[in-house]
Amino acid sequence: MKLQSKKRTFLASFLILFFIPSHSAEFEINFVETFDENYMIEVIQELKYENNIKRIKTFLDQKHWIERYEIKRNFFKPSSINIYSRKPIFVWNSDSYVDKNLVIFPKNENSLSNNILMINCPEPLLYEVFDWIKYPIDLVENKLISINYNSVEGWIFKFEDFEAKLGKSLDSYKFENLLKTIEYLYAKRKNVSIVDLRSNAGISLKYDK
């Protein structure tokens, strides 16, 4: 009888402990390769007192910078949320990030983006340039810094040492000519400021003074 009484007392204590609302963090939040601490701070502030799984999922689903997440409910140790961040490959129009799958998500105003490619263009043209950006980046030694589109000159690819004007349409022929031109200039140790590929008649070069 005494043993059964102790068991009932233990069970009652366990149930009371389990259902008492907690005013401290319910989950241990782990961030995997998150590139912006502002995103992390926002999540921590929002979820630090939250213990409702449905509300947590709703909140995380609204954050487009999150690629995926895992929620692990544990009874005898702190439960956890593992958050996996998207990895942007460029900044679009100064206020958005774009990842390798062409997923667009907002850029935090305080985010640092000094070492990432910048692209400025209307949204319909974003899909056009997206298919080409890895082509010159992978093959040209000169780092690509920015890509801009304007209605007068079309696409302008800005590299560390020069800029390339490609006109209003992008195709493999222009990129092949651009790469061959750059290889020639490096071999001859010639310094140019502009490589102009807009004309079908040929390539125009503007040399540094």
Residue 64 is predicted with a pLDDT of 93
- Of residues 96, 133, 145, 112, the one with CA closest to residue 35: 112
pLDDT band for position 15 (50/70/90)? very low
pTM of this prediction exceeds 0.95: no
Q: Stretch 57-76: mean pLDDT, rounded? A: 91
- Tell me if 117 sits within 8 A of 132, measured CB to CB: no
- Tell me if 110 sits within 8 A of 38, measured CB to CB: yes
> What is the chain's length?
209
At 94-147, the pLDDT tens digits run 999 999 999 999 998 777 666 889 999 999 999 889 988 765 554 456 788 999
pLDDT band for position 8 (50/70/90)? very low
Q: What ranges do the domains of the chain cover?
A: 2-85, 88-207
Domain covering 88-207 assigned CATH 3.40.50.720 in the classification = no
At 147-202, the pLDDT tens digits run 999 999 999 999 888 899 999 999 888 888 888 888 888 777 778 889 999 988 78
Fill in the amino acid letter for 207.
Y
Higher-confidence residue of 23 and 154: namely 154
Rg (CA), the chain: 27
Residue 14 is predicted with a pLDDT of 33
Question: Has residue 16 got a pLDDT over 60?
Answer: no
Question: Has residue 75 got a pLDDT over 50?
Answer: yes
Residue 7 is predicted with a pLDDT of 41
Residue 3 is predicted with a pLDDT of 39
The structure tokens listed for 42 are 């926002």
CA distances to 5, 50, 80, 188 from 23, in Å: 31, 9, 17, 70
- Ranking 2-16, 84-98, 149-163 by mean pLDDT, the lowest is 2-16
- Tell me if 110 sits within 8 A of 153, measured CB to CB: no
